[in-house]
Amino acid sequence: MARIITITSGKGGVGKTSISLNLSLALAAEGFKVCLFDADLGLANVNILTGLYPQKDLESVISGRAALTDILIRDYQGIDIIPGSSGVERLADLTRPETGTLIRSFLDLDAYDFFIFDTSAGISSQVLAFCMASHEIILIVTTEPTSLTDAYSMLKVLSKHGYDSPVKVIVNQVAAGKAAQKAYARLKQTVTRFLPARIEPLGIVASDKNVRASVIAQTPFFLLFPETVASRCMAAIAEKLIRHHGKAGDIPLELFWDNCLSFLETHSPRKNEKTRDARTRETASDIGERLSRMEEKLSFLVKEMADIRELLETLVPTVARTKEGPCPEPHKIILDFESWLAAKKG
């Protein structure tokens, strides 16, 4: 069993992947066995931060071309990494056999103290599935209003789906402590007022020029600059997590994946689109049948109108005025609007 933590954000560009990677390294530095699952589509961020370019990813496991142990990047500076890439996108379309294969593959992994999921930004079905299956969520925000707004949206969606555990918040790229406190207080006040969700502060990561330098060097800042302010912030956050280790309720990885894939099966937009397409096809068929019946009825009514018109014209006399005076003339029955208008104008 492992302590499963999903790290997410409502908005891209807030440093979520950097925190996921460096936090994993900070936990490993304290002697814990950590696995980082890169659930961010494309794997681009982890590639940039580490210089790792794996040949296979989760899609290879799903398709049966590789075992999970084959794609696992072992002991990268003390942590293991599972590249997700295109396999994460495929999670929404797994067949029953593929689901069973994926869940069983996690039984072959070693036991971990921490299993950390670095998700994409936003509220896609994959992101929500990881969050809903996890007992612990870390939400990354910055002090920017757009980041706080998107974070609120994320919390709103989680609440809608019934997530009721406290969500931990890290304020990243902080230029001043007061700005971080003000941003968190604003988010907390809004959430408390409008949502049943609960949030808790986990820590801050100060703005640090060495973070950018580490990205250029493709080496995590926790390793390249262990004494820089961002690394000290990361160590403090790791210490806070360790302090509460064992209290969050560790769960087996296979149970996590079962919950995750069950959520996707129910809420995947792609599967809902397929259902809507099927309903649309059925509706179109029904409409076609109705139109056919309506055409038959209209044809019958046109014939009936012609018969009625002929009958009325023979039965109802009228008087037409001529120069010589009135003379009887068969009455012309007007049964259409255009003819009635023409007669009225005449």
Q: How far is CA 19 from CA 50, 169, 276, in A?
A: 13, 12, 39
The Cα 100–Cα 64 span in angstroms is 11
Closest to 219 in 3D by CA, of 54, 76, 37, 82: 76
Which tens digits make up the pLDDT trace of 20-63? 999 999 999 999 999 999 887 544 466 677 877 777 888 888 88
Query: Is the torsion defined by CA of 333, 338, 341, 343 positive or negative?
Result: negative
> Is the confidence at residue 64, as pLDDT, over 50?
yes
Strands 3-8 and 114-119: parallel
Question: Which pLDDT belongs to residue 325?
Answer: 53
Q: Decide which of 38 and 93 is more confident.
A: 38
- Sequence length of the chain is 346
The Cα 95–Cα 265 span in angstroms is 10
The Cα 116–Cα 140 span in angstroms is 14
Q: What angle do CA 254, 257, 260 make, to 5 degrees?
A: 155
> Is the confidence at residue 278, as pLDDT, over 50?
no
Which tens digits make up the pLDDT trace of 138-190? 999 999 999 999 999 999 999 999 999 999 999 999 999 899 999 999 999 99
Beta strands in the chain (DSSP E): 3-8, 34-39, 73-76, 79-83, 114-119, 136-141, 167-174, 199-206, 317-322, 325-330
The Cα 39–Cα 85 span in angstroms is 7
Domains of the chain listed by start with CATH number: 3-267 (3.40.50.300), 273-345 (no CATH)
Q: What is the mean pLDDT of the chain?
A: 81
